[in-house]
């Protein structure tokens, strides 16, 4: 088993991602030895822990809907991929109370057959209560993340320990607005040996993602 130790040197405030970028995300069964390479050639930008609430529906491979940190609605849509790089853009990022148009955009993203009550705009609790009705459709899943982020030029890398239900997994991702630069980074770090799978792909097929336990020293 590969062991690795994270050392944060001269970390700066993380730079927000662009609204549209190309992403390559993998879910290895063991922590690959890429951390030393990231620490040698990349700038560490952030270390964070948070719990996101994902709203899963049959369209989750092309749309990612979540409450970031449980309080901010975020909708990401998949566009035209570049080879095996997935193209994602932020279609909505809005704090509560939500606008009526945001509520309509959410219902459309979740492929809901009927509109949500206007009270769902008021707070995350109101929205989750409305979505918990049997007729609402989406599955609600709390996903806890412990993440380290790195950056080199316009490319961002992240290593995240992900916990949901009884599963503990590791996911590594690279993203960049420039697909060619993203591809070079994927090749340089050897991530192409694993398939590119989004959070929606992984969480919806989680019975297939039962991985060997990740030890504390793995991340």
How many Cβ atoms are within 10 Å of 134's Cβ, its own excluded? 5
Residue 10 has pLDDT above 80, yes or no: no
Residue 135: band (very low, low, confident or very high) from pLDDT cuts 50, 70, 90: low
How many degrees, rounded to 5, is the angle at CA 88 between CA 84 and CA 90? 175
Q: What average pLDDT does the segment 147-157 reach?
A: 94
Give me the pLDDT at residue 134, please. 65
Distance CA 96, CA 116 (A): 15
Residue 206: band (very low, low, confident or very high) from pLDDT cuts 50, 70, 90: low
The size of the chain, in residues, is 219
Q: What percent of the chain has pLDDT over 70?
A: 84
Higher pLDDT, 169 or 213: 169
Give me the pLDDT at residue 196, please. 96
Give me the pLDDT at residue 211, please. 45
Residue 136: band (very low, low, confident or very high) from pLDDT cuts 50, 70, 90: low
The structural domains of the chain, ordered by start, are: 20-212 (2.40.320.10)
Average pLDDT along the chain: 85
Q: What is the pLDDT of residues 57-71, one digit of tens each?
A: 888 889 999 999 999
Distance CA 86, CA 117 (A): 33
Residue 33: band (very low, low, confident or very high) from pLDDT cuts 50, 70, 90: confident
Evaluate whether 206 touches 167 at the Cβ level (below 8 Å): yes
Evaluate whether 146 touches 49 at the Cβ level (below 8 Å): yes
- Classify the phi-psi angles of 190: left when phi > 0, otherwise alpha if psi is within -120 to 50, otherwise beta: left
Distance CA 60, CA 201 (A): 7
pTM of the model: 0.83
């Amino acid at each position: 088993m590969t062991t690795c130790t994270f050392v944060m040197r001269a970390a700066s405030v993380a730079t927000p991602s662009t609204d549209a970028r190309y992403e390559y995300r993998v879910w290895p069964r063991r922590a690959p030895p890429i951390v030393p390479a990231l620490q040698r050639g990349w700038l560490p930008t952030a270390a964070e822990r948070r719990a996101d609430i994902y709203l899963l529906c049959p369209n989750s491979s092309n749309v990612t809907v979540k409450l970031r940190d449980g309080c901010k609605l975020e909708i990401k849509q998949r566009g035209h991929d570049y080879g095996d790089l997935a193209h994602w853009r932020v279609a909505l990022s809005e704090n509560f109370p939500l606008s009526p148009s945001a509520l309509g955009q959410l219902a459309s993203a979740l492929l809901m057959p009927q509109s949500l009550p206007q009270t769902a705009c008021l707070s995350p609790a109101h929205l989750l209560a409305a979505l918990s009705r049997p007729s609402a459709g989406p599955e609600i899943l709390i996903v806890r993340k412990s993440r380290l982020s790195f950056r080199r030029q316009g490319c961002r890398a992240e290593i995240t320990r992900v916990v949901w239900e009884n599963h503990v997994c590791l996911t590594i991702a690279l993203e960049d607005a420039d697909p060619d630069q993203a591809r070079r980074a994927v090749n340089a770090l050897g991530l192409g040996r694993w398939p590119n799978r989004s959070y929606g792909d992984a969480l919806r097929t989680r019975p297939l993602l039962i991985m060997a336990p990740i030890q504390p020293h793995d991340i």
